[in-house]
Amino acid sequence: MDVYLLKDMGLHPKVLGPAELPDFQIRIGDRATLVPNPESTAYGVVMELSDNEAATLYSKPDVSDYQPETVSAILISNGTIQRSSCYNLPLDQLGSGSNVEYAEKLSMLVLELGFSSAYASEINS
């Protein structure tokens, strides 16, 4: 999730930092979701939102099907394990296609955040 996008929506995210999420892989359908995969690692930014802000964010029609899942992300800066709620789309709702424009924007964001070009390529593939 893009911190500036959240702020533009009137939310107040507190950035905890870039993180990796072992045993998960990103999948792009109409939108993105993370799926369990013991041979993969997903990357992103851990942010805090109030419960009310998270409820507001995930009540929007285009993301209302996402469900919170408790995960253990590892903050890259210091290796701290951060228990977090990760909102994921159930696989049966991912869609059969791939939103190329969304994947391209997400891969550019990944590079802007300093994650590897290999991860950006994974998102685009």
The range of the structural domain enclosing residue 8 comes to 3-96
**Alpha carbons 16 and 61: distance in angstroms, whole number:** 27
Assigned domain for 64 exists: yes
Assigned domain for 18 exists: yes
Assigned domain for 105 exists: no
Look at residue 114 and give its three-state secondary structure.
coil
**Alpha carbons 77 and 71: distance in angstroms, whole number:** 18
Amino acid 123: pLDDT: 92
**Alpha carbons 43 and 110: distance in angstroms, whole number:** 8
- Read off the pLDDT of residues 31-53 as tens digits, 9 standing for 90 and up: 889 999 999 999 999 999 999 99
| Residue 60, CA atoms < 13 Å, CB-side half-sphere | 9
In the chain, how many domains are there?
1
Assigned domain for 113 exists: no
Assigned domain for 39 exists: yes
Assigned domain for 117 exists: no
Assigned domain for 103 exists: no
Amino acid 99: pLDDT: 84
Confidence of residue 5 (pLDDT cuts 50, 70, 90): confident
**Alpha carbons 49 and 11: distance in angstroms, whole number:** 8
Position 26 pLDDT exceeds 90: yes
Position 2 pLDDT exceeds 80: no
CATH number of the domain to which 54 belongs: 3.10.490.10
Amino acid 1: pLDDT: 65
Assigned domain for 37 exists: yes
- Read off the pLDDT of residues 66-110 as tens digits, 9 standing for 90 and up: 999 999 999 999 999 999 999 999 888 877 667 889 899 999 999
Amino acid 91: pLDDT: 82
